[in-house]
Amino acid sequence: MHARTLLVALLLPFSAFAPFAASAQLALLRSEGDVGPVLHPGSAIFDTAAQTVTLSGSGSNIWFTRDEFHYLYTRIKGDFILQARGQLLGKGVEMHRKFGWMVRAGLDTGSAMVCAAVHGDGLTSLQYRPANGANVLESRSTLTSADVIQLERHGNTYIMSVARSGSPFVINQVTDIPLDSAVYVGLFICSHNKDVTESVRFDNVRLIKPSWAGMVPYHDYLGSHIELLDLSSSSRRIVYSDPGSVQAPNWMHDGRALLYNAGGAIYRFDLNARSAALLNTGSVRSNNNDHVLSFDGRMLVLSSDIDHHSIVWKVPSSGGDPVQLTPTGPSYGHGWSPDGKYIVFTGQRNGDFDIYRIPSGGGPEVRLTTTPGLDDGPEYSPDGRFIYFNSTRSGSMQIWRMNPDGTHPEQLTNDTCNNWFPHLSPDGKWVVFISFWPSETRPDDHPFYRHVYLRVMPASGGAPRVVAYVYGGQGTINTPSWAPDGRHIAFVSNSGPISGE
């Protein structure tokens, strides 16, 4: 193994605070070196501001009974999820130069291993050596030229999920690969030609410890990352990490700060200082993740638990004494009208969840939906012409919109995902929402700690585009979180602590 090129100052733990949280994920890959008798030593170049790493390496192949490649890695015990996006640099020499994620029992050339590999000719494959010294086998994906690569372990099962940016995952898996509990995991590059050095650039690198069997919802929590997503490139940057549960960032209207909830409190996170300060919400101190700013940015709706029922309140966005709006609960605030006169919320009355409107100055609530099934997540369009919401009325959870008085409901999505919480862009042209995989959730449930997509579609409907592949769920994007520039979105992803062995 040759010397690592990453500065020691970057070796930060998962709970790294403030400006250093951004580089913590790459720093988890603590070691670097060549596996096998490569002719040309490889290297890793880190860009901590962009949160990218460029690997260069040679190596004759990863196949048969021996491997040669360059490896950026750590050791992890138990189950995990590995995510990254990769792009080969330059035209290349060999059609089977390859990159991806690799899990290994050891660092010798013939070690048992599993890897998710993308080749220079587009071949995308889950490759594995089931025992030390055995020949490599593979399960080829029906997708070619993937750039988004996810590899996860559940016991002795390894699951490769791959996509071309913007599209859903295509999944392959292998079972009965009995590697040790503690394994090497990392990113790799192989030139497939011992005389040649090739390079690949990775971004959106995430090492995730998922929920565990027996984890108790709303009692046990994983840690949280607040991330900023650039919609034009789908590049993600972590701006804050916390070992506890942080949820639902609202982007404030000056573009300088986010509001989020944690432990029943609301915090203002300064994006320049990378620091959080408690927002005064008076006696209302059991705030959940349904909070939303008014269109002028001056007022904040809170949803706070009183006697085990959520009640809607309003408070100045700079903090102050709260004013109660809904007389009863459960009530969950989701949207202001553009003129500030009304608030829409989800309320359970007579055993059914529907969408209601209430004057922001107080007054009687008006029921807007009456169709059986769960209606949730109401939000006004910036022009006030529609209320967008999610509903199970067609069977699965899908995105809908209706007139502000509840008439003329129109279904906008109709696919296999369970789609929640539509949020309109500042110009009203786009909708971002969270999509739960149907294999993992019921239509009427949006739990913590699942595989989810963040997707964007035109405000009038149309084919959604995946803009982020996330391990998250409840609390990821419950609230409107577009930046004022309309080019960025804030959200929360989740992971338990990663520790090397």
- In a domain? residue 272: yes
Final residue of a domain: which of 208, 243, 266? 208
Say whether both 264 and 350 belong to one domain: yes
For residue 80, which of 14, 26, 151 has the smallest C-alpha distance?
A: 151
Structural domain includes residue 412: yes
Q: Considering the domain boundaries, does residue 3 fall inside one?
A: no
**Predicted local distance difference test score (pLDDT) of residue 20:** 37
For 185, what's the count of Cα atoms within 13 Å in the CB-facing half-sphere? 32
Same domain, 68 and 162: yes
SS3 26: helix
Amino acid at 139: S
Instruction: Say what the pLDDT of residue 23 is.
Output: 63
Q: What is the predicted pLDDT for the residue at 31? A: 96
Instruction: Dig out the tokens for 133 from the structure.
Output: 């010294």
Residues 115 and 251 in one domain: no
Cα distance between residue 14 and residue 207, in whole Å: 10
Q: Where do runs of H (alpha helix) occur along 382-483?
A: none
Query: Which residues, other chains included, contact 214 with Cβ-Cβ below 8 Å and sequence gap of 6+?
Result: none
Domain boundary among 208, 233, 257: 208
Residue 501 belongs to a domain? no
pLDDT at 306: 85
Question: Would the pTM of this model clear 0.85, i.e. be above it?
Answer: yes
Averaged pLDDT in 10-residue chunks for the chain of 501 residues: 28 30 77 97 94 97 98 97 98 96 98 98 98 98 98 98 98 97 97 97 98 93 97 96 97 97 97 96 96 98 91 97 95 98 96 96 97 97 98 97 98 97 98 96 96 98 98 97 97 91 58
The answer on 22 and 63 residing in a single domain is yes
Residue 407 lies in a domain: yes
Indicate the residue among 139, 174, 208 that finishes a domain: 208
Query: Are residues 204 and 241 part of one domain?
Result: no
Residues 194 and 251 placed together within one structural domain of the fold = no
Cα Rg of the chain, angstroms: 24
CATH number at residue 169: 2.60.120.200
SS3 10: helix
| Residues 158 and 304 placed together within one structural domain of the fold | no
Is the domain of 253 the same as that of 180? Answer: no
| pLDDT the model gives residue 255 | 96
CA 151 remoteness from chain centre: 15
Q: What is the pLDDT of residue 182?
A: 96
| pLDDT at res. 21 | 43
Q: Is residue 330 part of a domain?
A: yes
**Domain range enclosing 345:** 225-495
Within a domain: 2? no
State the amino acid at position 301 in one-letter form. Answer: V
| Same domain assignment for residues 322 and 406 | yes
Cα separation of 338 and 319, whole Å? Answer: 21
Residues 110 and 146 in one domain: yes
Residues 48 and 186 in one domain: yes
Residue 252 and residue 338 in one domain: yes
Domain membership of residue 84 (yes or no) is yes
Distance CA 253, CA 293 (A): 9
Number of domains in the chain: 2
Instruction: Check residue 350 and give its pLDDT.
Output: 86
Distance CA 250, CA 491 (A): 9
Which CATH number does the domain housing residue 460 bear?
2.120.10.30
